[in-house]
Amino acid sequence: MSDELALLAANHAYYDAFNARDEEAMAALWAQHNVSCVHPGWPPLLGREAVLSSYEEIFRNPRQKNIAHRHVHCLIDGDNGRVICVETVGEAALVATNWHRLIEGRWLLVHHQASPLAFDLAESDRLLMH
Amino acid sequence: MSDELALLAANHAYYDAFNARDEEAMAALWAQHNVSCVHPGWPPLLGREAVLSSYEEIFRNPRQKNIAHRHVHCLIDGDNGRVICVETVGEAALVATNWHRLIEGRWLLVHHQASPLAFDLAESDRLLMH
């Protein structure tokens, strides 16, 4: 598998773990060290424990909707691979950066940040469809 | 100067360039390749040209307020140095990630993303003052 395909697979696995509310799968996707996460509206979370705890909290929220993603861009620079994509959560659209590091042959998450798009979904699609 | 001090100085220079509306200084802070930027509410921008054009557009907006920043965290991992901080723009508070790469001895920006905090400034300070 090429580096880019492996990176895309890691990104896909993130959303699969999220939508399955699978804490173990989520934990396996994150690196052990040097991790950070900025959920929409949240203060920044630093360190693996804080980041994984946040997902446990989110997974316990019965009103949490699933996340779909589209408009996926990969950018690989040595051992660093970022994926920038548009997340859709219900009618809301967000831009997510999922930053991975290639550690012992696996792309592991070291940073996630999702921030709301100021456009509705149809307008976002129009802007990004090129 | 230590790597961390140099990284903090690069982060400071970003806000100085922004607040001075200095296109040249801003251009000098960004790497030539592999750059991405997510302004609050904007679709993702990929590539140096798109990113620098966005700052030119922002700098031309007479209603654009200056950005102050606080609660600065540095995370250095080899040649990658991210700075996560809280930006304040008027009464609004945002979480910014300013990701740099050490290229030929200089920390250059390769990614910026700012996303609104769902707390007012006083509440953000309370949450982050630890």
At B23, which CATH number?
A: 3.10.450.50
ipTM of predicted complex: 0.93
Chain B residues close to A81, C-beta within 8 Å: none
Structure letter (DSSP) for residue A91: T
CB pairs under 8 A between A and B: 101
Mean local confidence (pLDDT), A19-23: 98
Q: Is A74 on the interface with B (CB under 8 A)?
A: no
Q: What share of chain B is helix, strand, coil (3-state, %, to 5)?
A: 35, 40, 25
Name the minimum distance, in Å, from the CA of A113 to any CA of chain B.
8
| Cα separations in angstroms, B45 against A20, B24, B35, B89 | 30, 19, 8, 21
Given an 8 Å threshold on Cβ–Cβ distance, is B42 in contact with A114? no
B111 touching chain A per CB within 8 A: yes
DSSP summary character for residue A63: T
Q: Are strands B68-77 and A80-89 parallel, antiparallel or unpaired?
A: unpaired
Return d(Cα A51, Cα A60) in angstroms, integer: 15
Residue B118 contacts A where some CB pair is shorter than 8 Å: yes
Residues of B in contact with A41 (CB under 8 A): 115-119
Domain count, chain A: 1
* Main-chain phi, psi angles of B96, to 5 degrees: -115, 140
- The parent domain of residue A111 ranges over 3-128
Instruction: Say how far apart CA A85 and CA B42 lie, in whole Å.
Output: 13
- What's the pTM value of the predicted model, to 2 decimals? 0.94
Cβ contact (<8 Å) for A115 and B110? no
CA A124, CA A71: separation in Å to the nearest integer?
10
Chain A CB contacts of B44 under 8 Å are 73, 84, 95, 97
Asked whether residue B56 carries a pLDDT value surpassing 60, the answer given is yes
Q: Does B47 touch chain A (CB under 8 A)?
A: no
Residue B82 contacts residue B6 (beta carbons within 8 Å): no
Please determine, for residue B130, whether its predicted confidence score (pLDDT) is greater than 60: no
Span A54-112, pLDDT tens digits: 999 999 999 999 999 999 999 999 999 999 999 999 989 999 999 999 999 999 999 99
Q: Which residues contact A111 (CB under 8 A, 6 or more apart)?
A: A35, A36, A37, A97, A98, A99, B82, B97, B99
Q: How far apart are CA A83 and CA A5, in angstroms?
A: 11
Q: What is the pLDDT of residue A125?
A: 72
Average pLDDT on A40-58 reads: 96
